[in-house]
Structure 1
Amino acid sequence: MTFRIRAATDADLQHLYEMAKLTGGGFTNLPPDRRSLKAKLDRSHTAFARTEGPVIDELFVLVLENTRTGEVRGTCQLFTQVGEQHPFYSYRLGTLTQHSRELGRTFRAEMLTLTTDLEGSSEVGGLFLHPGERAGGLGLLLARSRYLFIAAHRPRFADRILAELRGVIDEAGGSPFWDGLAGRFFGMNFQDADQFNAINGHQFIADLMPKHPIYTAMLSDGARAAIGLPHPSGRAAMRMLEHEGFRYEGYLDIFDGGPTMTARTDQVTSVRGAAEARVVAIDGMNDGGGDDELVASGRLAAFRCAFGRVREVADGVLLSPDCAAALGVEAGDSVMRVGRW
């Protein structure tokens, strides 16, 4: 296995910038702006350097590295507590039921309500895999490595966790949801608003967004149709989140209407299933034994994660040589592992 997950460093800035230019818009956590990306790396360095303490608003940036070439081919992020420094806004889709006795009719109206219900949650986001690497399960490695990181650093994360999926973006790079709702109040197209948010934060939403509920019947057909739908490229990510135990409970991204998935952190499949074990020996398992798993080692900036072949023995596990090399572990070291789907 020539790929591993590791902590991002300043040397990765150019790689991150080049990947950010490939996202196609609507990817707030990976803006094609060097200054913003450098600020993310600085926040991440600070988080990796803090060894203990309570849950606070921190950001960890991880990257997918080809250990043979040294190239960075993907990235993902973990936010430990959203909404601490600035309000974390979502729309909540709900229903208002009203009954008219005179007409003998009941009316049910869908409404979008601006809310900060999810403040204080942790977030997994910023996942991007280079288009040239979308094979071999590397997206799975990127996504699930975050849960092994959480399991290894559980006190640093909240009891609830969320994931925002990018919503529907049209061929011109616009958002039908934004055009039908928020764009009418901000006088900005989606691309400009999305870029401004990625670089400057979303306090402008608190300043300008109307606080009263929005009846969906008043929106355009295109805006209504986009509510709660992921971007076509995000459907696999949504299925992966559902497999991990995340659910869509009516929360939407306020920019593009994409679904926000939520779960209890300790009930996330890969967090709950993660187990620590001692490496008894590095073994090629030429007899075909063992299972394919995700394996992680190290803490904070020393964290590494890779696919590997693992076999349980009486006092620990045998680990395949390629995985041991990617993680930098030897016999006697401890690793955290979870089964590969």
Structure 2
Amino acid sequence: MSFRIRAARDEDLPHLYEMAKLTGGGFTNLPPDKRSLRAKLDRSRACFASADGGAGDELFVLVLENVDTGQVRGTCQIFTHVGQHYPFYSYRIGTLTQHSKELGRTFRADQLSLTTDLEGASEVGGLFLHPRERAGGLGMLLARSRYLFIAQHRARFADRILAELRGVIDEAGGSPFWDGLAGRFFGMNFQDADQFNAIHGHQFIADLFPKHPIYTAMLPEAARHAIGLPHPSGRAAMRMLETEGFAFDKYIDIFDGGPTMTAFTDKVRTIAEARPARVIAIDDDGGEPALIASGSLAAFRCAYGRLRPVGDGVVIDRTCAAALGIAEGADISHVART
């Protein structure tokens, strides 16, 4: 069974909608709303069709396709410059230190400050793999394909990149962080707010969120404990991000308190290690395991394969070449599968 990453198409909407219904909430980039998903596909199609990337916030939606059946079994998204149309809000965790000479004590209080520090950065997100396909490294293929896409279209992306991880959500689908902080200002539960945000955007946050720093000591215990923690299902994603060079820099999501990971784009491991090459031969062996990508924009493809250098080019295996739809003479980029 062979899989490949490709650009999303209009006919992928039913597959995306079915996967969106499996996310369990808190997954803003993949809402279970057909109108929102269709808008994403429309926007992505326009960006894939644009040869000249500007400074605007472009969106590229990729899907994981079973080459044998044509079924879409996963998806991921890439944003070139967040916050260009609507403010991109985060909470920044800071510390205020105060000293009382009379008491002889020093007090340190953690604060949450509403900020748009990350505005203009690129973002990788919206990664979801169908529960029945969570084996064989397909989650890694989805995740790392985004970086090969960025490497092949580097001029369209910012020098800083972020990834927001879903925060702690309870068995009822609620968020302890939301209930303890924002929910008190909005008069709606987490699920309603999350859905509203996914469909209508962030502007309501600017209208109603408190602008002054929030002392975490004033939050309920459950909300405090959720700050900066990923959802249990996101721990593997967090480890993959850390392997790529991302780090938690004290920014959290304003809805569920999940961690926002950041990195310098050119320091991301897959981007830094990606190498261009020309395919000079295709055979039944190929060589060492690798991620191999070909094509640009809507023609972009990425798949696992085997590759070995020969002279001024490389040899790849037939299965990968078929998945990518390439022949001898094709230009590719590749990185070791580790």
- Aligned to 1:224, the other structure's residue is in SS state helix
State whether structure 2 residue 244 is matched by structure 1 residue 247.
no
- Aligned to 2:302, the other structure's residue is in SS state strand
- Aligned to 2:280, the other structure's residue is in SS state strand
State whether structure 2 residue 280 is matched by structure 1 residue 292.
no
Aligned to 2:156: 156
For residues 48-197 of structure 1, what are the structure 2 equivalents within 5 Å?
48-197=48-197
Separation in 1 of the partners of 2:110 and 2:227?
Answer: 11
Q: Deviations over 1:19-49 (max 9, x none)?
A: 0000000000000000000000000011101
- Aligned to 1:26, the other structure's residue is in SS state coil
Separation in 2 of the partners of 1:301 and 1:40?
Answer: 15
- Aligned to 2:158, the other structure's residue is in SS state coil
Separation in 2 of the partners of 1:240 and 1:67?
Answer: 25
Question: How far apart are residue 53 of structure 1 and its match?
Answer: 3.7
Separation in 1 of the partners of 2:304 and 2:258?
Answer: 31
Q: Deviations over 1:46-89 (max 9, x none)?
A: 11011024332110000000010000000000010100100000
- Aligned to 1:263, the other structure's residue is in SS state strand
Letter in 1 for 2:243: H
Instruction: Give yes or no for contact 1:54–1:155 (8 Å, CA) kept in 2.
Output: no
Separation in 2 of the partners of 1:115 and 1:321?
Answer: 50
Separation in 2 of the partners of 1:332 and 1:301?
Answer: 20
- Aligned to 2:278, the other structure's residue is in SS state strand
Question: How far apart are residue 227 of structure 1 and its match?
Answer: 0.3
Aligned to 1:339: 336
Larger displacement relative to structure 2 (329-338 or 48-57): 48-57
Length-normalised TM-score, structure 2: 0.99
Separation in 1 of the partners of 2:218 and 2:53?
Answer: 47
Separation in 1 of the partners of 2:310 and 2:270?
Answer: 22
Separation in 2 of the partners of 1:105 and 1:72?
Answer: 60
RMSD: 0.7
Separation in 1 of the partners of 2:223 and 2:47?
Answer: 38
4+ residue runs over 4 A deviation: none
Aligned to 1:22: 22
Separation in 2 of the partners of 1:236 and 1:219?
Answer: 28
Separation in 1 of the partners of 2:233 and 2:288?
Answer: 30
**2:321 aligned residue (299, 324, 327):** 324
- Aligned to 1:77, the other structure's residue is in SS state strand
- Aligned to 1:261, the other structure's residue is in SS state strand
**1:306 aligned residue (272, 289, 303):** 303
Question: How far apart are residue 104 of structure 1 and its match?
Answer: 1.1
Separation in 2 of the partners of 1:150 and 1:53?
Answer: 12
Separation in 1 of the partners of 2:120 and 2:297?
Answer: 21
Letter in 1 for 2:310: V
* Structure 1 runs not aligned, ≥5 long: none
Separation in 1 of the partners of 2:216 and 2:53?
Answer: 43
Separation in 2 of the partners of 1:237 and 1:312?
Answer: 31
* Structure 2 runs not aligned, ≥5 long: none
Letter in 1 for 2:191: Q
Separation in 2 of the partners of 1:57 and 1:169?
Answer: 29
Question: How far apart are residue 119 of structure 1 and its match?
Answer: 0.1
Separation in 2 of the partners of 1:301 and 1:53?
Answer: 13
Instruction: Give yes or no for contact 1:165–1:234 (8 Å, CA) kept in 2.
Output: yes
Letter in 2 for 1:326: A
Letter in 2 for 1:310: L
Separation in 2 of the partners of 1:316 and 1:275?
Answer: 11
Separation in 2 of the partners of 1:236 and 1:53?
Answer: 32
For residues 218-257 of structure 1, what are the structure 2 equivalents within 5 Å?
218-257=218-257
Separation in 1 of the partners of 2:253 and 2:43?
Answer: 24
Q: Deviations over 1:256-307 (max 9, x none)?
A: 000000000000000000000000100112xxx7210000000000000000
For residues 209-220 of structure 1, what are the structure 2 equivalents within 5 Å?
209-220=209-220
Over the matched positions of the two proteins, sequence identity in percent amounts to: 76
Separation in 2 of the partners of 1:210 and 1:216?
Answer: 14
